[in-house]
Amino acid sequence: MTASALPPVERETVQCGVVEDGYGFPMAVAARYLLDDVSPTSTLIVPTAKTPFPRLLSRRAGYQPLWLADPSAEDLAWQRAQVGDGATYIPASPATLVGQLSGIGLVLNPFGLQHTIAEAPAYGPLMRRLVGPDGSMVTLDWGPTRYPEDLAGLPGIADEVRFARSSQLEPFPEDTGWALLKEREIFFEMPHSVDHVAALLNAANAATLRAATDPGRVIEVGSPVIYRLYRALPA
């Protein structure tokens, strides 16, 4: 097989309001691209975490059957409360799904691969075994968050940035069974309150942050989301 040239990375910047709780707006932007790029089809979301994608797709005609898989019983229970009985809930990790499902049209990994960096290289080949010949896969991951220079070196914040940089993933190569069709880097300008940034840190690091800045400050934070759309290659 001759490897195809990778598509150019599409980049855009999206301005958000001040973030106080959660990242619903970035997920909504990613969902818009997903719905534009992938026709309704049978869908597997793994891991589900506590993201809005299962509920969104359960209410769109055609993304059926809908399988939701996650090793966390808590996350699956949360999703069941959101989605109801119209989906199938599977307490499993990606590796243990192989052999249980086949012929899926779309696999979605929402904001998860960089959190399982050791297992991430195997994710693509594992999911390729589950999809049909016209299957698609969408992966979404956070890139390194950008903080103001005076805060970027603080304990906790610097650790987060280093982790994000060390766990960046390259696109799956074609020998995994996937061809990369689109890659988008969506940079979200997301101002945070001091309280919201502090809530992301442990108690000691949160105290250091609060001591370093005015409590009423709006912290200019930027986070990129890497959106990749793949099509299955012939087996």
Single-letter residue type at 6: L
Residue numbers of the domain that contains 31: 9-232
pLDDT in tens, 174-198: 999 999 999 999 998 888 889 988 9
**Residue 201 token pair:** 């840190």
Q: Name 43's bridge partners.
A: 66, 106
pLDDT in tens, 24-50: 778 888 899 999 999 999 999 999 988
Q: What is the domain-level CATH number for residue 72?
A: 3.40.50.150
Q: Are strands 218-219 and 178-189 parallel, antiparallel or unpaired?
A: unpaired
Most confident option among 4-8, 55-59, 162-166, 168-172: 55-59
Count of domains forming the chain: 1
Is position 1 within any domain? Answer: no
Is position 184 within any domain? Answer: yes
- State the pLDDT confidence band at 69, using cuts at 50, 70 and 90: very high
In whole angstroms, what is the distance from residue 171 CA to residue 174 CA?
A: 9
Amino acid 20: pLDDT: 58
Mean pLDDT of 153-166: 87
Is position 16 within any domain? Answer: yes
pLDDT in tens, 107-149: 999 877 776 777 888 999 999 999 999 999 999 988 888 999 9
| Cα 170–Cα 190–Cα 197 angle in degrees, nearest 5 | 95
Q: Inform me whether the pLDDT recorded for 51 exceeds 80.
A: yes
Q: Which long-range contacts (CB under 8 A, 24 or more apart) does 32-37 make?
A: 33/184, 33/227, 34/108, 34/138, 35/60, 37/136, 37/138, 37/182, 37/229
Mean pLDDT of 204-213: 93
| DSSP at 145 | P
